[in-house]
Structure 1
């Protein structure tokens, strides 16, 4: 075997037996997010716009990070802004690339999203978002802009429920 064949065989063997995921797992410059910073960011998502901007500028990977408040109650900063009705903050996060969902669509009164989603997934009418807040709650937080969504959800049987916050 000549030098060229040896090198080619080595490259092929390395590529066959090395998973790209194992290479990523060994990166030292890609640590997990600090849970305290995630909690601070998500907490700020409840209305501290400047703090959200500051933390996101320092660490852009916080954008879709979720904090676990316990008992399966996961929340992102966008989820926080959505259930408190802070549209400006929610829009800022969406503009930065945050992953919007049906709850955020309800906040913004996006009936053209809500109707097909509920046609496809009818049980989502009673789905619980962060802290147990419902679609109806999010639509109500959307005010006049979300009035059509609020009325539609009520026509389907959605009811305001009391939220049990630990």
Structure 2
């Protein structure tokens, strides 16, 4: 098991800062850049909204279809995921993931948004993903978390 000594461990990010970063990641690109420049470790930080609803800046920008912010995060090294692949219509990533783990078709992202929701937000670029998911029987675009 790996552990940090007290001298090696960095302090946790301020919860209010993480929450603000996630909030602005939905639609305030200038503020995203500003905060990330000042606090680079926010890139993969997740805010806990409660009841298992965790959201990163990438997740926030993805579920609203803000591809410019999503691409910015990816260019900075954000941890891409299956929802990111759905948003950008990446069948070459999505199909093998679902074949590997079929239950992913019912995966819930931030606020319960599904892969189908992300594909719909992806527009024409994600049309093939949307049709593929529907062919698998996916109907909901949001699965309530609680």
Coarse TM-score class (shorter-chain normalised):
over 0.9
In 1, are the aligned partners of 2:55 and 2:110 still within 8 Å (CA)? yes
1:31 deviates by 1.3
CA distance in structure 1 between the aligned counterparts of 2:37 and 2:143, rounded to whole angstroms: 33
Relative contact order: is structure 1 or structure 2 higher (C-alpha 8 Å, sep ≥ 6)? 2
Total equivalences in the alignment:
146
Does residue 80 (structure 1) correspond to residue 76 (structure 2)? The answer is no
If you compute each CA radius of gyration, which structure gives the higher value, 1 or 2? Answer: 1
CA distance in structure 2 between the aligned counterparts of 1:20 and 1:115, rounded to whole angstroms: 34
- The SS at the match of 2:44 is coil
CA distance in structure 1 between the aligned counterparts of 2:108 and 2:2, rounded to whole angstroms: 37
CA distance in structure 2 between the aligned counterparts of 1:160 and 1:20, rounded to whole angstroms: 40
Q: Find the counterpart in structure 1 of residue 40 from structure 2.
A: 60
CA distance in structure 2 between the aligned counterparts of 1:35 and 1:162, rounded to whole angstroms: 26
Normalising to structure 1: TM-score of the pair?
A: 0.83
Give deviations 1:116-156, integer Å, cap 9, x for gaps.
00001000001111000000000000000000000000000
Normalising to structure 2: TM-score of the pair?
A: 0.93
CA distance in structure 2 between the aligned counterparts of 1:37 and 1:88, rounded to whole angstroms: 22
CA distance in structure 2 between the aligned counterparts of 1:52 and 1:134, rounded to whole angstroms: 24
1:22 deviates by 4.2
CA distance in structure 2 between the aligned counterparts of 1:146 and 1:79, rounded to whole angstroms: 17
Ranges in structure 2 where 5+ consecutive residues have no aligned partner: none
